[in-house]
Amino acid sequence: MKYEYLILSPNIINDRFENGYTAEKEKTFFGKEKIVYKDKTITEQEWLNKKGQEGWELVNILRNGMNYDLREYYFKRKIK
């Protein structure tokens, strides 16, 4: 059986995983509108579920002892 492997270090903001951006309109001081992009985040469990739906199986998580927001996730999945 052959596998492909994936190593990810996701961007983690306050224990939540970055999951793209949302565009929002805001008014400036002078009344003009501008588009502001804000981070869209999800929990670690939601992020892992999303990877599982893509067919990835979690193998290991390496955490940095000094900063727990720095993590490496190791995944594998079967090659068809």
At 4-19, the pLDDT tens digits run: 999 999 888 888 898 8
Provide the 10 A C-beta neighbour count for residue 41.
17
CATH of domain 3-78: 3.30.1410
> What is the predicted pLDDT for the residue at 1?
86
Domain ranges of the chain: 3-78
> What is the predicted pLDDT for the residue at 21?
87
**CA–CA separation, 71 vs 36, rounded Å?**
28
Helices (H) and strands (E) in the chain, counts: 1, 6
> Parallel, antiparallel, or unpaired for β 3-8 and 71-78?
antiparallel
> What is the predicted pLDDT for the residue at 62?
92
- In degrees and rounded to multiples of 5, residue 11 shows phi and psi of -80, 120
Q: What is the dihedral of CA 16, 20, 25, 30, to 10 degrees?
A: 80
At 23-72, the pLDDT tens digits run: 999 988 888 999 999 889 999 999 999 999 999 999 999 988 787 678 89
This prediction's pTM: 0.72
> What is the predicted pLDDT for the residue at 14?
80
